[in-house]
Amino acid sequence: MLFSESFLSRPRRELSPGAYWVPDWLSAEEQRWIVARFHEWGAGPVPPRAAKIGDHEMSVQSLCLGWHWRPYEYSREATDVNGNRVLDFPDWMVRLGRKAIFAATQDQAAAERYTPDAALVNYYGTDAKMGMHQDRDEHLGDHVVSLSIGDTCKFRFGNTQHRNQPYEDIALASGDLFVFGGPARLAFHGVTKILPGTAPEDCGLGAGRINITMRVTGLSD
């Protein structure tokens, strides 16, 4: 719609100290470009897979860049998939991560310092979810940068103590940026629902949802 007022209802917001939501951060063109990269990564050395937590298969399909994540550690090789080394972390994604930190925090020094070295790329089909968890396999406390493309999801962002209330449910839509760090770095969070058919036509993804989280592992070879 021309001159839509939607930005008024979805302003940039700090949910709790250190947790920032920036709606409509990626343009449609940027989203389509990232979706094209997503398809290339999927044809790469390590195919997307549902990670196993004990005997339980997660409902999201995920692949990794830079470092491979499996519950609950990082390695260069995807030892629980096919043993291949994962793709390098792309330079453009470091630049995008820095832009994201600035957009969220307005802290130029923090943005310039930010050097993510691992990304988890998750694909959610319409029935996929992600249970409440902390991102705690990184050895440094740098921010996590999260990008969403495709169908809107219900994202639950909670507290650092446990999975239960208090938490807040927000609708993360295609193009939205979410950043958490500082006092919110170890907050429990999860995806409770995908809202099928909500992906905008011009985002490049017909169905389902892609989420990319960039992280700083603190690891070296």
Ligand X SMILES: O=C(O)CCC(=O)C(=O)O
135 touching ligand X, by CB under 6 A = yes
Identify what 155 binds: Fe ion, ligand X, none; CB under 5 to 8 Å per kind. Answer: ligand X
Identify what 122 binds: Fe ion, ligand X, none; CB under 5 to 8 Å per kind. Answer: ligand X
137 touching Fe ion, by CB under 5 A = no
Pick the piece of the chain touching Fe ion (CB under 5 A) from 13-21, 28-36, 132-140, 175-183. Answer: 132-140
Sign, Cα dihedral of 34, 61, 172, 6: positive
130 touching ligand X, by CB under 6 A = yes
Phi/psi of residue 109, nearest 5 degrees: -65, -40
Rounded CA separation 71/98 (Å) = 27
Shortest Å, Cβ 28 to Fe ion: 26
Tokens for 50, please give them: 């549902």
Residues 171 to 190 in contact with ligand X, rule: CB under 6 A: 172, 189
Shortest Å, Cβ 120 to ligand X: 5
- Specify the residue, 109 or 213, whose C-beta has the smaller distance to ligand X: 213
Identify what 101 binds: ligand X, Fe ion, none; CB under 5 to 8 Å per kind. Answer: none
Shortest Å, Cβ 8 to ligand X: 24
Nearest alpha-carbon partner for 78 in 36, 121, 110, 127: 121
**Most distant CA atoms of the chain, gap in Å:** 51
Is 105:179 a contact under the CB 8 Å cutoff?
yes
Distance spanning both ends of the chain, measured CA to CA: 50
Exactly one of 176, 213, 214, 216 binds ligand X (CB under 6 A); which one? Answer: 213
Residues 23 to 52 in contact with ligand X, rule: CB under 6 A: none
Q: How many residues bind ligand X (CB under 6 A)?
A: 11
Rounded CA separation 154/173 (Å) = 9
Identify what 105 binds: Fe ion, ligand X, none; CB under 5 to 8 Å per kind. Answer: none
Is 191:123 a contact under the CB 8 Å cutoff?
no
Enumerate the β-bridge partners of residue 168: 157
Identify what 130 binds: Fe ion, ligand X, none; CB under 5 to 8 Å per kind. Answer: ligand X
Sign, Cα dihedral of 39, 98, 31, 33: negative
Rounded CA separation 115/121 (Å) = 17
Exactly one of 135, 186, 195, 200 binds Fe ion (CB under 5 A); which one? Answer: 135
Query: Interface with ligand X by CB under 6 A: which residues?
Result: 120, 122, 130, 135, 146, 155, 172, 189, 191, 211, 213
Query: Interface with Fe ion by CB under 5 A: which residues?
Result: 135
